[in-house]
């Protein structure tokens, strides 16, 4: 091993970078070699090298760098220096002839032009870069890096113009070296919102490309489908990628990502173990790939977040650190104010689910159970007061889950700096609710693993505070009508949504049951989702009991859920009576359930009207598969409603 090979990579890279800058600034060969003789010892081990040997090594490397460095003053061609004649003075400054000095040494290192260009790019002015591209002086292998730079400064059009010609050729002749350009071109299409053009490009590559490019295109399509929640399509694309690259590290990462996005964590752990063993046996796999798989064997969601930390919003990374450190605190009981009578449920700021003039009166909620309002612990009141001054976002309106000004949370970090010095803020439902609202507003929070690693711990912390409080007091009801209860009830509803999306049906049902018990007037309409959970799980008696709590409900899930439960329980006469009652309130539902195909109505942005076609369509989408799976049910409905 020679002394250049013994040098630390970062030292050699810095030496090359400084050498290229020296050449471009001073443009003097003799001066450059003098500089090399000074700079060389700091980059290369001096052990076993005399001063003369160091000078010779600096000369050989200097000649190699000089002869390959493109010069803007020479149309980006190197100004090469010929090898000295044997009897010429040696350029190392030894006073010997070249033949008796450096000419006797091994041939100098061979430096690829791409390496020097790569070092030059960040120092070129925009005008020089454009001129170099026009002169076709820049190696095509660096086009992807140039495109990435233009994307970073919001010049996606330039990136497209640079990269598209690379793929205007026989795609089967392009190999894995073209993958960075493919990725950069797709990113540029995304930045320009050229969705159809990107789709067409990827499908063309997937059809006509080499195996390496086909794999890259299918991987990109799979990730796109994952982002859109189209997991069946994502899986099909993954299989195509795997067919073209069965042993590739990118295939391993894609499979773990796909499984984690569907919250199939146990399967993801097993596949991470498989891939870790397989890639380690293959050898020549980057350490960061093996480290990711090692982490994924323990926690796939955390592994995905960690792998993306370098490209994530730094504020999200900081918030994640606070969450990990704070939510493991022992839960405390929140303060409560108990009431003997229910709170008045007529808050004018509450947004009703429907126009109240169209609704029947719900059954009166009795005084059984203690009604309560959650209140701040004394030691947290000043903390919450300061928080309210620092956090720039208001509460969501009514039963909404997002705030109109939610994006403001990510425009300054005063609230985050406050959290970082106050781990006890995790004891405040009000603060936890605001953190959840901020996460809902962040564009990256829709990614499943970000939601799992950041949002879920916040909501589970709130749940732990709630259960500790309920076990410490005699409170049984937390009416939504008292604003002090809204942060906790809102987080419970968010927790239900998260668990439902994760496929945790039993846990989701438990949250719904708790929400309805705490707030029987059900401002969030959780009774509809709870009814559908019961029916999908075959809990027909529970479904019937729930329907009987709301005997004149205009939610289709309750009205027609009662019919389905009675039919399953063999009570067809009662089911027919319930069906007639339901049709009287919501007459369009049977037609939307009975038809195999039906045109989708235009859905209003502000919800639907009870009894309208929009409501019928939404119920069909949610539950027709359950009705269709029940033997004879749809035929019976058709007969009864004829």
Mapping DSSP to helix (H, G, I), strand (E, B) and coil, where does residue 338 land? strand
pLDDT of residue 592: 93
Residues 6+ apart with CB under 8 A from 303: 256, 260, 272, 292, 293, 295, 296
- For the chain, what percentages of helix, strand and coil (3-state, to nearest 5) are there? 65, 5, 30
Q: What is the Cα 217 distance to its own chain's centre?
A: 20
Top-tier CATH class for 125-307: mainly alpha
Above 80 in pLDDT, residue 93? Answer: no
Q: Does 48 score more than 90 pLDDT?
A: no
CATH architecture of 525-642: Alpha Horseshoe (1.25)
* Helix H or strand E encompassing 83: none
What is the reported pLDDT for 328?
A: 86
**Residue ranges of the chain that CATH labels 1.25.40.10:** 125-307
**Is the confidence at residue 401, as pLDDT, over 70?**
yes
Radius of gyration of the chain (CA): 34
Q: Is the pLDDT of residue 361 over 60?
A: no
pLDDT at position 187, please?
95
pLDDT at site 310:
78
Cα-based torsion angle of the residue sequence 327, 332, 337, 341 in order, rounded to the nearest 10 degrees: 90
Whether residue 312 is predicted with pLDDT greater than 50 in this model: the reply is yes
Residue 13 has pLDDT above 90, yes or no: no
In which band, very low, low, confident or very high, does the pLDDT at 359 lie, cut at 50, 70 and 90? Answer: very low
| Complete DSSP assignment for 200-267 | HHHHHHHHHS-HHHHHHHHHHHHHHHHHTT-HHHHHHHHHHHHHH-TT-HHHHHHHHHHHHHTT-HHH
State the pTM of this model. 0.75
Question: What local confidence, expressed as pLDDT, does residue 44 receive?
Answer: 56
Is the per-residue pLDDT at 40 higher than 80?
A: no
Beta bridge partners of 371: 339, 477
pLDDT at residue number 366: 44
pLDDT in tens, 158-192: 999 999 999 999 999 999 999 999 999 999 999 99
- pLDDT reported for residue 101: 83
CA distances from 165 to 140, 141, 181, 370 (A): 11, 13, 11, 72
Top-confidence residue, 606 or 143: 143
Q: Around 386, how many Cα atoms within 13 Å sit in the side-chain half-sphere?
A: 13
User: Three-state DSSP class for 336?
Assistant: strand
Percent of the chain with pLDDT over 90: 64
Give the tokens for residue 314.
Answer: 């730094």
Position 351 scores a pLDDT of: 40
């Amino acid at each position: 091993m020679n002394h250049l090979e013994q040098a630390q990579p970062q030292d050699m890279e810095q030496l090359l970078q400084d050498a290229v800058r020296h050449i471009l600034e001073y443009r003097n060969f003799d001066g450059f070699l003098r500089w090399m003789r000074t700079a060389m010892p700091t980059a290369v081990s001096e052990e076993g090298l005399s001063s003369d040997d160091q000078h010779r090594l600096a000369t050989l490397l200097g000649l190699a760098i000089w002869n390959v460095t493109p010069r803007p003053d020479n149309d980006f061609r190197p100004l090469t220096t010929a090898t000295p004649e044997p009897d010429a003075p040696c350029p190392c400054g030894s006073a010997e002839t070249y033949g008796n000095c450096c000419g006797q040494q091994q041939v100098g290192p061979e430096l690829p032009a791409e390496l020097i260009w790569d070092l030059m790019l960040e120092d070129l002015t925009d005008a020089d870069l454009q001129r170099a591209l026009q002169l076709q002086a820049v190696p095509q292998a660096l086009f992807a890096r140039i495109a990435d730079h233009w994307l970073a400064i919001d010049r996606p059009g330039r990136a497209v113009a640079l990269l598209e010609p690379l793929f205007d050729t026989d795609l089967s002749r392009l190999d894995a070296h073209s993958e960075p350009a493919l990725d950069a071109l797709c990113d540029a299409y995304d930045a320009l919102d050229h969705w159809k053009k990107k789709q067409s490009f990827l499908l063309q590559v997937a059809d006509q490309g080499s195996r390496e490019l086909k794999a890259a295109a299918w991987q990109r399509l799979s990730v796109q489908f994952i982002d859109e929640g189209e997991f069946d399509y994502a899986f099909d694309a993954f299989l195509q990628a795997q067919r073209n690259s069965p042993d590739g590290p990118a295939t391993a990462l894609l499979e773990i990502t796909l499984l984690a996005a569907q919250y199939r964590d146990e399967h993801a752990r097993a596949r991470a173990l498989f891939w870790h063993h397989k890639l380690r046996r293959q050898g020549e796999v980057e350490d960061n790939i093996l480290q990711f798989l090692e982490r994924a064997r323990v926690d796939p969601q955390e592994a995905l977040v960690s792998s993306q930390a370098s490209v994530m919003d730094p504020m999200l990374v900081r918030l994640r650190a606070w969450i990990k450190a704070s939510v493991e605190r022992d839960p405390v009981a929140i303060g409560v104010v108990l009431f003997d009578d229910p709170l008045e449920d007529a808050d004018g700021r509450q947004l009703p689910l429907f126009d109240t003039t169209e609704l029947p009166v719900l059954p009166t909620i009795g005084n059984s159970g203690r009604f309560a309002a959650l209140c701040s612990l004394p030691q947290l009141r000043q903390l919450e007061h300061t928080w309210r001054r620092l956090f720039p976002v208001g509460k969501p309106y009514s039963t909404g889950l997002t705030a109109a000004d939610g994006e403001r949370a990510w425009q300054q970090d005063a609230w985050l700096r406050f959290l970082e010095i106050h781990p006890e803020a995790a004891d405040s439902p009000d603060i936890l609710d605001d953190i959840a609202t901020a996460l809902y507003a962040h564009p990256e929070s829709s990614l499943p693993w970000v939601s799992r690693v950041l949002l879920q711990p916040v909501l589970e912390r709130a749940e732990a505070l709630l259960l500790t409080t309920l076990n410490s007091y005699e409170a049984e009801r937390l009416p939504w009508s008292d604003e002090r209860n809204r942060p906790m009830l809102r987080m419970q509803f968010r927790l239900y949504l998260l668990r439902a999306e994760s496929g945790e049906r039993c846990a989701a049902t438990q949250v719904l049951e708790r929400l309805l018990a705490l707030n029987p007037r059900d401002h969030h309409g959780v009774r509809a989702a709870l009814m559908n959970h019961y029916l999908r799980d075959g809990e027909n008696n529970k479904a019937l009991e729930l329907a009987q709590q709301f005997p004149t409900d205009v939610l289709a899930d309750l009205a027609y859920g009662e019919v389905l439960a009675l039919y399953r329980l063999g009570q067809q006469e009662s089911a027919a009576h319930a069906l007639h009652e339901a049709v009287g309130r919501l007459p369009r539902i049977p037609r939307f359930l009975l038809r195999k195909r039906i045109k989708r109505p235009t859905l209003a942005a502000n919800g639907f009207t009870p009894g309208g076609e929009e409501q019928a369509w939404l119920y069909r989408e949610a539950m027709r598969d359950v009705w269709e799976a029940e033997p004879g049910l749809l035929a019976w409905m058709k007969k009864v409603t004829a």
